[in-house]
A and B are shown apart, each in its own frame.
Chain A
Amino acid sequence: MIRWSRRKPVALADVQPDLVRLERRLFLRNGLSLGALAMLTGCDLTDGDAVDKVLWAMSRWNDKVQAFLFDPNRLAPTYAESDITRPFPFNAFYDVDDVPDIDGGDWKLEVSGLVADKSPWTLGRLRALPQESQITRHICIEGWSAIGQWSGVPFRTFLERIGADLRARYVGFKCADRYYSSLDMATALHPQTILALDYGKDPLPPEYGFPLKLRVPTKLGFKNPKHIGALFVTNDYPGGYWEDQGYNWYSGS
């Protein structure tokens, strides 16, 4: 079952990810300022905050350029079953031992925001929708890539089924492992964007995002949230776990 909304006494383990993030955010600033000092000696732009602002502004500019370059009809290359990377690497902001333990029986996907039907979805209801399969390359922002096979509900089908406002700007995701992320609507409607229920021939194992993972082969790996517990359609920028720390939000491939 999902534990992310339940109140618990504060333990170090609970706040650890937040501490790490805060530390990293400060580190981003320090790193950029040190870099700026090293790079910009003698120029006026030696103030770390100013450099940080320029980098964030350039990242927002890159979001716009990538949205412009995105062709809604261009498909990510697909591969043969023999090309699949075995074993497919586990990757998260925590160790594999800390993968959330979710009971598929009482799991529900909550839906909110600019949608007509906000009733929650069980695994059975999701499995009753049309399914598609893909073998595509997962590209990590770290540089490595791996080919895997995911199957599930085309996200466009799902959004249409819940009566989502398809002219809204964003779809946001909240996950059982405190992860969160968001997509632009054009990518959400791309034919290869799927709500994945299976990896290979079997239901998603815990380390690959049981019970539900978003598979987006037109974006970098960190834009493919796992253990999704809730999604919402909105016009307000939802950000993301890594995006709020400095990863480029659009991160399209």
Chain B
Amino acid sequence: MAVEAVGPARRRRMPIHPLIVRVTHWLNAFAMVCMIMSGWKIYDASPLFPFSFPAWATLGGWLGGAIAWHLAAMWLLVANGLLYVAYGLIGGHFRRSFLPISPGGVWRDLRAALTFRLGHRLGHYNAVQRLLYVAVLLCGLLAVLSGLALWKPVQLHPLSLLFGGYEVTRRVHFVAMAGIVGFVLVHLALVLLVPKTLVPMITGRAKEEP
């Protein structure tokens, strides 16, 4: 084994995240933050619900600036997302990392997680993680499709109809955003709880676990 030949002085590092997953992860994080913060500013121009987002949490300064950000960052979000999904499907990443998901497995891991008895093995997703990753991917897909239907309600009229028309689509887009934000909060909380997961998403590798 090449790794062992280096000798005991060097710790063995095991690969966790391939380069393409790391690059698309961080590009997506940047694009998502731009989309969500500018989207909140756009929401504030005509709130759907009886609340607004505070100005400090928004991007763009005013409606025109926020839309400029939103319609610029959408290209990065979609191009990067397509690259990631293509890799996930063709490279087998989705099948290897996210499947199978069984209700029994989710229930067992959820109970263990909520009682802080669920261990974390780097490079391996438990059933709750799998479910959340698949769910946030579906929320992302929903956000992109409903966003396209809002951007082009006439040219993409069939898509707009599929969501139930323009006004319903606005609410679908909001719900998709809320789902993504909810995921991000859980995701960040878990990284804080298990900080050793952050390094492999940057370097790709982690110390061999005992």
Q: Which residues of A contact B (CB under 8 A)?
A: 24, 27-28, 30-32, 34-35, 38-39, 54-56, 58-59, 62, 66, 69-71, 74-77, 137, 139-145, 217-218, 242, 245-248, 252-253
Contact = CB atoms under 8 A, between A and B. Distances in A.
Contact of A28 (B65, B153, B154, B170): B65
B65 A32 contact: yes
18 contacts: A28-B62, A31-B59, A32-B61, A35-B37, A39-B59, A54-B72, A56-B68, A69-B155, A74-B154, A74-B155, A76-B154, A137-B153, A141-B45, A142-B63, A247-B67, A248-B68, A252-B154, A253-B152
B131 to A, nearest CB: 30
A76 B160 CA distance: 12
Nearest to B33: A39
B159 interface: no
A38 B30 CA distance: 11
Could you tell me the dominant secondary structure of chain B's interface residues?
A: helix
B43 interface: yes
A35 B59 contact: yes
A140 B71 contact: no
A58 B71 CA distance: 8
B71 A59 contact: yes
Q: Which 6 residue pairs spanning A and B have beta carbons closest together?
A: A31-B61, A246-B64, A58-B72, A142-B45, A143-B46, A142-B46
| Residues of B in contact with A, size category | 20 to 34
Contacts, number: 101
Nearest to A70: B155
A253 B153 contact: yes
A127 B70 CA distance: 42
A218 to B, nearest CB: 5
B196 to A, nearest CB: 23
Interface in B65-113: 65, 67-69, 71-72, 75
A253 to B, nearest CB: 4
Nearest to A58: B72
Interface string B155-192: 10100000000110010000000000000000000000
Given A27-B62, A74-B157, A217-B154, A246 B68 contact: yes
Given A144-B46, A145-B166, A55 B61 contact: no
Nearest to A40: B30
Contacts of A141: 45, 63, 67
A217 B157 CA distance: 13
B67 A39 contact: no
Given A58-B71, A217-B154, A139 B60 contact: no
B16 interface: no
A206 B30 CA distance: 46
A21 to B, nearest CB: 11
A75 B72 CA distance: 27
A66 B155 CA distance: 9
Contact of B71 (A38, A62, A77): A62
B166 A27 contact: no
B64 A28 contact: yes
Interface string B23-64: 000000010011001000011011010000000000111111
